């Protein structure tokens, strides 16, 4: 995405955290996320919302969102403002699963210095395809997979890792 060109680092942790909060708000499950030149595609299943009970009540329907660069920037600002008014980070619960899960996945992507992000989730597990450039400048795709238990472990250890980094001199 162009907002990262020329930046000192790609902050996928914050972008994916924000997209995760958006997915939580839309009550999506089994998401797919694809990076585009001008933004992202987010797709997931959501329960069909009907006013009255019918045979289709509770049926899952596919929802697809194109999140353009400007929209992502607005979502980032909105989420940052909401968090600054809240007392801390939400604990690992199902209501904020994507916000937390995509945050730790984003942190992993940041450490890989990857681009051309594609990921999908099923039952809380994630598969990622990343375009990574090695030290010689050669680029190639790499795959990573995280089970739901691994994601929950990463979420649980994230606050301690953030404290360790913030306590490091020069961090």
Please, what is the average pLDDT of the chain? Answer: 83
Distance of CA 100 to the CA centre of its chain: 8
Contact (CB, 8 A) for 121 and 30: yes
- Residue 29: give the domain boundaries: 2-49+56-167
pLDDT at 62: 95
pLDDT at 9: 46
Fill in the DSSP letter of residue 124.
T
CA neighbor of 79 nearest in space, from 153, 156, 158, 21: 21
Give pTM, 2 decimals.
0.80
Tally of CB atoms within 10 A around 109:
24
| pLDDT (tens digit per residue) in 61-119 | 999 999 998 898 898 888 888 877 655 444 444 568 999 999 999 999 999 988 889 99
Residue 136 or 50, more confident = 136
User: Percent of the chain scored above 70 by pLDDT?
Assistant: 75
Residue 102 or 60, more confident = 102
Backbone region of residue 154 per phi and psi (left: phi > 0; alpha: psi in -120 to 50; beta: other values): alpha
The DSSP element (H or E) to which 82 belongs, if any, is: helix 69-85
Count of the separate structural domains present in the chain:
1
Separation CA 159–CA 109 (nearest Å)? 18
What residues does 61 pair with on adjacent strands? 46
Separation CA 80–CA 97 (nearest Å)? 17
Tally of CB atoms within 10 A around 158:
17
């Amino acid at each position: 995405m162009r907002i990262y060109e020329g930046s000192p680092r790609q902050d996928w942790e914050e972008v994916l955290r924000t997209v995760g909060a958006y997915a939580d708000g839309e009550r999506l499950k089994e998401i797919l996320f694809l990076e585009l030149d001008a933004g992202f595609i987010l797709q997931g299943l959501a329960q069909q919302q009907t006013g009255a009970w019918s045979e289709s009540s509770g049926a899952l329907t596919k929802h697809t969102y194109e999140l353009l660069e400007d929209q992502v920037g607005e979502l980032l600002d909105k989420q940052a403002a909401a968090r600054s008014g809240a007392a801390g980070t939400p604990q690992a619960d199902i209501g904020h699963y994507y916000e937390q899960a995509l945050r730790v996945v984003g942190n992993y992507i940041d450490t890989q210095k990857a681009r051309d992000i594609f990921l999908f989730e099923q039952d809380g597990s994630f598969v990622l395809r990343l375009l990574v450039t090695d030290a010689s400048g050669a680029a190639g795709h790499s795959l990573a997979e995280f089970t739901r238990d691994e994601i929950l472990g990463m979420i649980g250890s994230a606050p301690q890792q953030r404290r360790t980094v913030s306590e490091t001199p020069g961090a």
